[in-house]
Structure 1
Amino acid sequence: SRMTPASRVCAVALVTALLSACVAAPPRAPASMRVPVVAQAQPAEVTGLASAASVASVVPAIPAAPPRDLWRRIRDGLALPGCDADPRIVPTARSLVADPQNFEQMLAAVRPLMALVQDTVEAAGIPSDFTLLPLIESSYRPDAVGPGGYAGLWQFDRGTALAAGMPILAGYDGRRDPWIASLRATRMLARYDHDLHDWRLVVWAFNRGEWGIRRLYDQRGQPPLTPALPDWPVGATARGYLLDLMAYACVFRDPARFDVTLPPAVPPAALWLARFDAPIAPALAARLADVPLSQLRAVNAGYFDGRMPVDAPLHLLLPRAAHQRFLRRYAMLTPSQWRTLRPFRLRTTVTLDKLLATDSDADRTALARGNDVRSDIPLRPGQILWLPAGTRRHQLQSVAVDHVAPAWHVVQAGENLWSLARRYGVSVQDLRTWNHLHGSMLRIGQRLYLRTPG
Structure 2
Amino acid sequence: MLAFLSGCQVSPQFISDSDNIDPDIVAEVNSQPETPEPTTPQQAPQVVEITDVWQRLRLQLNIPVPEQALVERYREWYLANPKHLAQISERAGPFLYLIVDAIEKRGLPMELALLPIVESAFDPFAYSPGAASGLWQFTSPMARHFGLKINWWYDGRRDVPAATTAALDMMQYLYQKTGENWLYAIAAYNSGEGRILNAIKRNEAAGKPTDFWSLSLPSETERYVPQLLALADVIKHADQYGIQLAAIDNKPAVHVVDIGSQIDLAKAASLAEIDITDLQQLNPGYNHWATAPKGPHKLVLPVDKAEEFSAALAALPAEERLNWVRYQIRRGDSLGLIAKKHRTTVDIIRSINNIKGNNIVAGKHLLIPIAQQDATDYPLSAEQRVLAQQNRNSSRYSSKYQVKSGDSLWKIARQFKISTSELANWNGLSAKDTLKPGKTLVIWHQDDNRKGVVRTVKYKVRNGDSLAAIASKFKVSVSQLRKWNQLNEKKYLQPGQMLTLYVDVTSSNS
TM-score interval for Structure 1 and Structure 2 normalised by the shorter chain: 0.5 to 0.7
CA distance in 2, matches of 1:156, 1:413: 25
Which residue is 1:235 aligned to?
Answer: 218
Question: Any conservation in 2 of the 1:342–1:401 contact (CA below 8 Å)?
Answer: no
2:77 maps to 1:104: no
Shift, 1:228, TM fit: 8.2
> What TM-score, normalized by structure 2, do the two folds share?
0.52
Which residue is 1:178 aligned to?
Answer: 160
Alignment of 1:158-237 (within 5 A): 158-196=140-178, 197-220=180-203, 230-237=213-220
Amino acid at match of 1:403: T
CA 1:294/1:90 → structure 2, altered by over 3 Å: closer, same or farther? farther
Alignment of 1:247-326 (within 5 A): 247-268=230-251, 270-326=253-309
Question: Any conservation in 1 of the 2:86–2:245 contact (CA below 8 Å)?
Answer: yes
Shift, 1:308, TM fit: 1.2
CA deviation map 1:134-170 (0-9, x unaligned): 1111111112211121111111111111111111122
CA distance in 2, matches of 1:228, 1:219: 12
Question: Any conservation in 2 of the 1:113–1:140 contact (CA below 8 Å)?
Answer: no
CA deviation map 1:97-135 (0-9, x unaligned): 533245223302322222222222223331111111111
Give 5+ residue unaligned stretches, structure 2. 1-48, 326-366, 390-510
CA distance in 1, matches of 2:169, 2:287: 26
Question: Any conservation in 2 of the 1:90–1:250 contact (CA below 8 Å)?
Answer: no
Question: Any conservation in 1 of the 2:264–2:372 contact (CA below 8 Å)?
Answer: no
CA distance in 1, matches of 2:212, 2:371: 59
Which residue is 1:153 aligned to?
Answer: 135
CA 1:282/1:212 → structure 2, altered by over 3 Å: closer, same or farther? same
CA 1:269/1:123 → structure 2, altered by over 3 Å: closer, same or farther? closer
> What TM-score, normalized by structure 1, do the two folds share?
0.58
Which residue is 2:433 aligned to?
Answer: none
Question: Any conservation in 2 of the 1:112–1:268 contact (CA below 8 Å)?
Answer: no
CA distance in 2, matches of 1:252, 1:182: 21
CA 1:291/1:251 → structure 2, altered by over 3 Å: closer, same or farther? farther
Amino acid at match of 2:138: F
Give 5+ residue unaligned stretches, structure 1. 1-65, 344-388, 391-396, 417-454
Q: Which has the higher contact order (CA 8 A, sep 6+)?
A: 1
CA deviation map 1:406-434 (0-9, x unaligned): 8xx99x999x9xxxxxxxxxxxxxxxxxx
CA distance in 2, matches of 1:69, 1:399: 39
CA deviation map 1:264-287 (0-9, x unaligned): 223346110011111112222222
Which residue is 2:106 aligned to?
Answer: 124
CA distance in 1, matches of 2:159, 2:378: 22
CA deviation map 1:243-268 (0-9, x unaligned): 11011101111012332122222334
115, 135, 139: which one pairs with 2:121? 139
Return the index of the structure with the highest Cα Rg: 2
CA distance in 1, matches of 2:183, 2:87: 29
CA 1:247/1:326 → structure 2, altered by over 3 Å: closer, same or farther? same
Question: Any conservation in 2 of the 1:162–1:168 contact (CA below 8 Å)?
Answer: yes
CA distance in 2, matches of 1:402, 1:98: 42
- List, as ranges, runs of 4+ consecutive aligned residues in structure 1 with deviation greater than 6 Å: none
Shift, 1:293, TM fit: 2.0
CA distance in 2, matches of 1:320, 1:272: 5
CA distance in 2, matches of 1:97, 1:276: 44
Which residue is 1:332 aligned to?
Answer: 315
Shift, 1:295, TM fit: 2.3
Which SS does the other structure have where 1:153 is aligned?
coil
Question: Any conservation in 2 of the 1:145–1:151 contact (CA below 8 Å)?
Answer: yes
Which SS does the other structure have where 1:230 is aligned?
helix
CA deviation map 1:181-215 (0-9, x unaligned): 11011011011112221111111100011211123
Question: Any conservation in 1 of the 2:53–2:248 contact (CA below 8 Å)?
Answer: yes
